[in-house]
Chain A
Amino acid sequence: MDQKPKVEVEDLLKLKKFEQPDPEFWEQFDQGLRKKSMEALVQEKRGTWAALWERRWFQQTAVAMAFVFCGVPTYLGVQNLYVENQAEKNRFNMAQNEAVESISSRDLALETTRELARRKSMVDQTRFLVDSYQIDPQGYKLEGDIWQSNSGSESGRTYVNDRVQILSDDSRFLPVNLKY
């Protein structure tokens, strides 16, 4: 009967012990360790922050934090500015559009008059059209579809039945008092 000894995994693993580095390897090991120790020492002296800064994860976190604390507010500021500019642009466009559109009577209070003045300053040389308002021009120049009442308590007042054009080059526009 064959009595050859069996080879087990454990036996094969014992052969791993024969794997050894060359004798000069340990010289290289000592030199490398000395060099790395010096580097570690220098890094220790440079302080934790400097050492951390050399780590990739720290750099990434720092950049992310910088973005959150600086980038986001800046972005929001720019966004706000953009929104304001956009709003300004929209108002400008509105003013331009409204220059050829009629304005509903309910909107035209005293404030609205100021708003009209503001729009006028934005869109120079543009005509504003105003719908059906009772206007007390007090001698100011109005042009368009207007008529004056000459009876009763409303005598002398200027009314606008349909539309009146207030010329943009009319410097007396501002004091014009518009009423319901």
Chain B
Amino acid sequence: MIGTMVSSKSVNADAVATGKTTSQREADRILVTRVQGGDVAAYDILVHRYRERLYSVVYNLTSNREDALDLTQEAFIKAFQSINRFKGNSSFYTWIYRIAVNNTLSHLKKFRNRKFLSFDNIDQEASQSDIFDVISAKNKTEKGTLLKELHEKLNEALQKLSLKHRSVVVLFEIEGMSHEQIADILKCSVGTVRSRLHYAKQQLRVHLKDFVD
């Protein structure tokens, strides 16, 4: 059953083709229907389609790469186990994000006192970005050192936010989701999302005052 879900070699090409010709949501719906009908290979496509994005959310919520790895895998397994309960009221994308975010938030609540950060490498391409040029122009520090410092401060600042504020910032600012999508994932109103976002940014400005104007 799920044992073969990651055997990407067995992925059917027609599903990929379908995804190209229809909207992403429709393609996902077709794949989900196939999984519900017992086609495990279809789930592999969904895993490969969303693993990076899901991992990114979980990683940015935890700032711990090992936890993020485990929690993303768990989210995929949980989603597979309850795929028959997915009715298609929301997109598969929103549904699996909700599973991953809730699973991560439960984990973070459970291990509230355990704060161990382990970061992914920051791509050196970041030092070529316009914004980094602006920051480095204001600092006398060498670029590599500055990038490392910023990388750490950014993660620490995120971890200082409460879970509900952190989730909104991660989903909106990093993942680029809309307020409506976030409200759907977090099961709250759009107004709540906006106000949490506003407050979270205020907090981040305080924590990152050395880097912002």
Chain A residues packing against B (C-beta within 8 Å): 4-22, 25-26, 28-30, 32-34, 36-38, 40-41, 44
Contacts and interface: CB of A to CB of B under 8 A. Distances in A.
Contacts of A20: 120-121, 123
Contact of B154 (A12, A21, A26, A38): A12
A26 B48 CA distance: 10
Interface in B1-25: 1-8
Interface string B129-150: 1011011011000000000001
Interface string B75-94: 01100110000000000000
A21 B132 contact: no
Given A33-B77, A36-B77, A41 B3 contact: yes
Given A7-B212, A34-B5, A34-B6, A21 B73 contact: no
Given A29-B51, A34-B3, A41-B1, A7 B135 contact: yes
Interface of A is mostly: helix
Interface string B149-170: 0110010000000000000010
Given A7-B135, A18-B123, A12 B211 contact: yes
Contact of B2 (A5, A9, A40): A40
B60 interface: yes
Classify chain B: how many residues form its interface, as a range. Answer: 35 or more
Interface stretch (B28-36, B183-191, B200-208): B200-208
A38 B2 CA distance: 7
8 contacts: A5-B134, A6-B212, A9-B208, A10-B173, A11-B131, A15-B122, A15-B150, A21-B65
Interface in B98-112: none
Contacts of A11: 131, 134
A38 B40 CA distance: 13
Given A21-B120, A34-B5, A37-B5, A16 B76 contact: no
Contacts of B5: 33-34, 37
Contacts of B69: 25, 28-29, 32
Interface of B: 1-8, 47, 51, 55, 59-60, 65, 69-70, 72-74, 76-77, 80-81, 119-123, 125-126, 129, 131-132, 134-135, 137-138, 150-151, 154, 169, 173-174, 201, 204-205, 208, 211-213
A9 B201 contact: yes
B165 to A, nearest CB: 12
A142 B129 CA distance: 120
B211 to A, nearest CB: 6
B98 to A, nearest CB: 19
Given A14-B131, A18-B129, A41-B3, 6 more contacts: A4-B137, A13-B169, A13-B173, A16-B60, A33-B77, A41-B2
A9 B204 contact: yes
Nearest to B2: A37
A8 B173 CA distance: 12
A128 B31 CA distance: 96
Contacts of B8: 30
A17 B77 CA distance: 25
Contacts of B119: 19
A29 B169 CA distance: 26
Nearest to B202: A9
A14 B129 CA distance: 10
A33 B73 contact: yes
A30 B3 CA distance: 11
A18 B154 contact: no
A33 B55 contact: no
Nearest to A34: B6
Contacts of B126: 15, 18
